[in-house]
Amino acid sequence: MMWRLVFGAVAFVVFCYAFGKIILGAVILIVEDKGAIESLGRSWTLTAGNWWRVAIILTVLVIVIVALFLFIGIIAGIVAASMGSTAGTAGLLIQGISLLGNTLISPLYAAVLVAIYHDLKMRKEGADLAGRVNALAV
């Protein structure tokens, strides 16, 4: 029984590490127009030495998104309750408000992944230093 718990914990840690290393694969697939395996490899090299940075940014992102979804749910519930709607009408109203909120919040995840990609790319390829040198030369 104990070996299952240890195996599960080790598997979870390995999964989190690997997922953090390949998280930018979809962004690279689109932005750099590479193949699937090549995109995953590029993501692995971009996140090398920056795994904790990416993990912390994504953790904060998840916390912010969950908080926003909870806030939208509370607002939807308050609006439905204050209107004195029947169960069916209240359900439709809550779903409509949630749909609107989710439509506005959902692109945040993709935007953060693209921002992480550009940040890591600049750090790895020195583009940030070249930009600073060019700015000083002007």
Which tokens go with 16?
């989190």
Task: Report if residue 22 sits inside a domain.
Answer: yes
Task: Report if residue 90 sits inside a domain.
Answer: yes
Round the average pLDDT of the chain to a whole number and report it: 84
Nearest partner of 114 among 49, 61, 35, 38, judged by Cα: 61
Task: Report if residue 137 sits inside a domain.
Answer: no
Task: Report if residue 135 sits inside a domain.
Answer: no
How many separate domains does the chain show? 1
The answer to whether residue 111 scores a pLDDT higher than 90 is yes
Locate the DSSP E strands across the chain: none
Confidence of residue 129 (pLDDT cuts 50, 70, 90): low
Task: Report if residue 37 sits inside a domain.
Answer: yes
C-alpha–C-alpha distance, residues 11 and 14, integer Å:
5
Residue 85: CA atoms inside 13 Å, Cβ hemisphere, count?
16
Domain, as residue range, for 81: 2-126
Task: Report if residue 113 sits inside a domain.
Answer: yes
- Residue with the bigger pLDDT between 127 and 61: it is 61
Residue 51 carries which DSSP code?
H
Amino acid at 13: V
- Residue with the bigger pLDDT between 132 and 109: it is 109
The pTM score is 0.74
Task: Report if residue 138 sits inside a domain.
Answer: no
At 53-105, the pLDDT tens digits run: 999 999 999 999 899 888 888 887 787 778 776 767 777 877 888 888 888 88
Over range 120-128, report the average pLDDT: 79
Residue 32 carries which DSSP code?
S
First CA to last CA distance, the chain: 67
Task: Report if residue 59 sits inside a domain.
Answer: yes
